[in-house]
Amino acid sequence: LNRRLTEFGTTIFAEMSALALSTDSINLGQGFPDTDGPEEIREAAVRALRDGRGNQYPPGPGVPELRTAIAAHQKHHYGLSYDPDREVLVTAGATEAIAASLLALVEPGDEVIALEPYYDSYAAGIAMAGGTRVPVTLRPHEGRFRLDLDELRDAVTDNTRLLLLNTPHNPTGTVLSREELGEIAKLAVERDLLVVTDEVYEHLVFDDAEHVPLAGFPGMRERTVTIGSAGKTFSFTGWKVGWITSTPDLVTAVRSAKQFLTYVASGPFQYAVAEALALPDTYFEAFRADLRAKRDLLAAGLTAAGFEVFRPAGTYFVTTDIRPLGESDGFAFCRALPERAGVVAIPNAVFYDHREEGAPFVRFTFCKRTEVLEAAARRLRAAR
């Protein structure tokens, strides 16, 4: 293994899901739903397979039906216009979109700013591109993890090439506000930065939180690569269908890298996702309502079990602080939890460069059936 990758080892998600299996624990670690997405969309995938649509290499940029549906989705939900032929690229999940964007846009030695804690593939993607990561830490403030805009401004240097954002934010559940995004946009324009914005949890926002795409701010459309994923929006994480929307130049650049990573992927599933993106608003509303109830259920269970809970405004993760339980090392806590309580969670420290900042935080997912969440809450309370 080359030096760029040795620090990363095996992803925590594989490690923790294996631990859940070997200890027969409830897996609230890796974020994947235990209920598949809509039946009619599964049927659409079966139809595509049977009718021979996508069983051979689909076109490099993605099948036209899906690119058209992605553009229509951005227009319908956010009023953003993209040309399906030149400004949309289908990828093998958001993970490939992130890696291909970094490989295409970062020169060796460039600095890439990412919000810490960050989704683990960001660090590996920056490393594979030969970039230097510059984390800006979100810290607890009045019950949520907050971005310090001054710290973000101070992190920008003459070597900063790109800002890698994520909202709604995994693992903290923070949804950046319109005001915060406006400030970030001003900074990007002022310092002439590219922005890759991972918006895979765009439809998972609760209460009065609102997802606002960064690409809609003045001066941003031409410098922003926006990432989405059918894994999150339609509960098909195994299909690995993701996408980017951006300018023709940036899409062409990302495609240059993407063609040598996978070339293309997910043929028949692309047709099914095209149908999913056109689902009526009631689908998105029902999905949100279901997850909001599950968030409330798990948050209440974790509170009763003694955790300090940071109530997420978005995503399907809840970050907790274990210090009220007399614990301070999230790694040790998560390694012991399966034996102690029969539950698996993720230590947030893996998402930090400044590991000590993340040490007392532990993430649980709530994209599981109600009875599973109830059982996990009972186990955690009993093990208190």
Q: Where do contacts with ligand PMP occur on this chain (CB under 6 A)? A: 31, 93-95, 119, 166, 170, 198, 200, 229, 231, 237, 242
**Smallest separation, CB 168 to ligand GLN (Å):** 12
Read off the tokens for 85. Answer: 């032929």
Read off the tokens for 150. Answer: 């001054």
- C-alpha count within 13 angstroms, C-beta hemisphere, residue 235: 22
d(CA 46, CA 355): 45
Query: Exposed, middle or buried, 281 (CB in 10 Å: 0-12/13-18/19+)?
Result: exposed
Residue 8 within binding range of ligand GLN, rule CB under 6 A: no
Residue of 13, 78, 284, 331 interacting with ligand GLN (CB under 6 A): 13
d(CA 65, CA 58): 11
Residue 31 within binding range of ligand GLN, rule CB under 6 A: yes
Chain centroid offset of residue 248 CA: 24
Of 119 and 361, which has the nearer Cβ to ligand PMP?
119
Return the residues of window 118-137 that contact ligand GLN according to CB under 6 A. 119
Of 135 and 342, which has the nearer Cβ to ligand PMP?
135
Of 42 and 186, which has the nearer Cβ to ligand PMP?
42
**Smallest separation, CB 240 to ligand GLN (Å):** 11
d(CA 373, CA 26): 9
Binding mask 279-318 for ligand GLN (x = CB under 6 A): ----------------------------------------
Q: What's the CA angle centered on 225, arms 30 and 38, to 5 degrees?
A: 45
- How many CB atoms are located within 10 Å of the residue 209 CB? 17
Residue of 25, 27, 30, 270 interacting with ligand GLN (CB under 6 A): 30
**Smallest separation, CB 11 to ligand GLN (Å):** 6
3-state secondary structure 74-96: HHHHHCCCCCCCCCEEEECHHHH
Torsion 299-171-280-217 (CA) sign: positive
Residue 170 within binding range of ligand GLN, rule CB under 6 A: yes
Of 166 and 320, which has the nearer Cβ to ligand PMP?
166
Of 198 and 327, which has the nearer Cβ to ligand PMP?
198
φ/ψ of 209, rounded to 5, equals: -70, 150
Of 161 and 240, which has the nearer Cβ to ligand GLN?
240
**Smallest separation, CB 6 to ligand GLN (Å):** 19
Task: Using the structure block, give the residue that is written with the tokens 């993701």.
Answer: 242
Task: Using the structure block, give the residue that is written with the tokens 């670690």.
Answer: 29
**What residue is closest to ligand PMP based on CB?**
93
Of 60 and 238, which has the nearer Cβ to ligand GLN?
238
**Smallest separation, CB 363 to ligand GLN (Å):** 8
Residue 168 within binding range of ligand GLN, rule CB under 6 A: no
Q: Is the peptide bond before 108 cis (omega within 30 degrees of 0)?
A: no
d(CA 127, CA 3): 9
Binding partner of residue 270 among ligand GLN, ligand PMP, none, CB under 5 to 8 Å per kind? Answer: none
**Smallest separation, CB 91 to ligand PMP (Å):** 8
Of 315 and 320, which has the nearer Cβ to ligand PMP?
315
DSSP-assigned states of every residue in 119-165: -HHHHHHHHHTT-EEEEEE-EEETTEEE--HHHHHHH--TTEEEEEE
Binding partner of residue 93 among ligand PMP, ligand GLN, none, CB under 5 to 8 Å per kind? Answer: ligand PMP
Read off the tokens for 348. Answer: 């947030």
Residues forming the site for ligand GLN (CB under 6 A)? 11, 13, 30-31, 119, 170
